[in-house]
A and B are shown apart, each in its own frame.
Chain A
């Protein structure tokens, strides 16, 4: 049973346009959400995070939106650049008062930026 779902295995976007990557979760105990980026033959690298007390967090070209009622979050990249081509993982962590400390990851979305 997947608790974090990324339903789009791949996404192709033109350079300069907005990339929107989506993520859904089922566990209502999750209260902290992160996005990681992964290039081939490298480990995932932390990109941006958001706590459940917020609905938006912005860092340069990257913005994460959280809709708790829908158990949905999205990552917006604008404008998209060729170097953004990578696999993006959504991850979640349960409520700090209990549960494991480990992150639960989605299966990833391969973003391809077309020139």
Chain B
């Protein structure tokens, strides 16, 4: 099992550009979560999916952020347009159910200049 796979590992972009982060969850995991880590706020839940359906997106900071899960093996988090304050590490995690602990990917470090 390759675990949760995120790409890219690092992304540097200019303010105003569109950024797309990608995640492949562990096969068979029904839950997928997107988290953002910053020094000020720690790990924040942005959105999560259950069986490819978005369940709670109350953590998405603004309309500039959107997430999709077109199938059980792929999810994207898009920021358009990006701003310097979006600079953070973005983690994707998956879980087989709501009881088990999550498995996190290695994260995408986003820098918006």
Q: Is B12 close to A, CB under 8 A?
A: no
Q: Would you call A106 and B98 a contact (CB within 8 A)? A: no
Q: Is B107 close to A, CB under 8 A?
A: yes
Q: Contacts A101-B55, A102-B48 given; indicate if A108 touches B42 (C-beta within 8 A).
A: yes
Please, how many residues of chain A have a CB less than 8 angstroms from a CB on the other chain?
22
Q: Is A45 close to B, CB under 8 A?
A: yes
B43 neighbours in A (Cβ, 8 Å) = 44, 89, 105, 107-108
How far, in whole Å, are A46 and B99 apart by their CA atoms in the complex? 12
A108 neighbours in B (Cβ, 8 Å) = 42-43
Q: Would you call A46 and B102 a contact (CB within 8 A)? A: yes
Q: Is the interface of B mostly helix, strand, loop or mixed?
A: strand
Q: Mark A80-115, 1 if CB is under 8 A from B, else 0.
A: 000000000100010010001111111110000000
Q: Is the interface of A mostly helix, strand, loop or mixed?
A: loop
- Taking the nearest CB of chain B, how far is it from the CB of A53, in angstroms? 13
B4 neighbours in A (Cβ, 8 Å) = 43
Q: Name A34's contact: one of B35, B41, B101 (CB within 8 Å).
A: B101
Q: Would you call A46 and B31 a contact (CB within 8 A)? A: no
- Taking the nearest CB of chain B, how far is it from the CB of A58, in angstroms? 16
Q: Would you call B93 and A43 a contact (CB within 8 A)? A: yes
Interface residues on B, range: 20 to 34
Q: Would you call A101 and B101 a contact (CB within 8 A)? A: no
Q: Would you call B33 and A44 a contact (CB within 8 A)? A: no
- Taking the nearest CB of chain B, how far is it from the CB of A52, in angstroms? 13
Q: Mark B44-76, 1 if CB is under 8 A from A, else 0.
A: 110010100001101100000000000000000
- Taking the nearest CB of chain A, how far is it from the CB of B54, in angstroms? 12
Q: Is B103 close to A, CB under 8 A?
A: yes
Q: Which of A7-61 contact B (CB under 8 A)?
A: 32, 34, 36, 41-46, 49
Q: Contacts A42-B106, A43-B93 given; indicate if A106 touches B42 (C-beta within 8 A).
A: yes
* 11 A-B contact pairs sorted by A residue (CB < 8 Å): A32-B99, A41-B106, A44-B43, A44-B91, A45-B104, A46-B103, A100-B55, A101-B31, A105-B35, A106-B42, A107-B43
Chain B residues proximal to chain A, CB less than 8 Å: 4, 31, 33, 35, 41-45, 48, 50, 55-56, 58-59, 91, 93, 98-99, 101-107
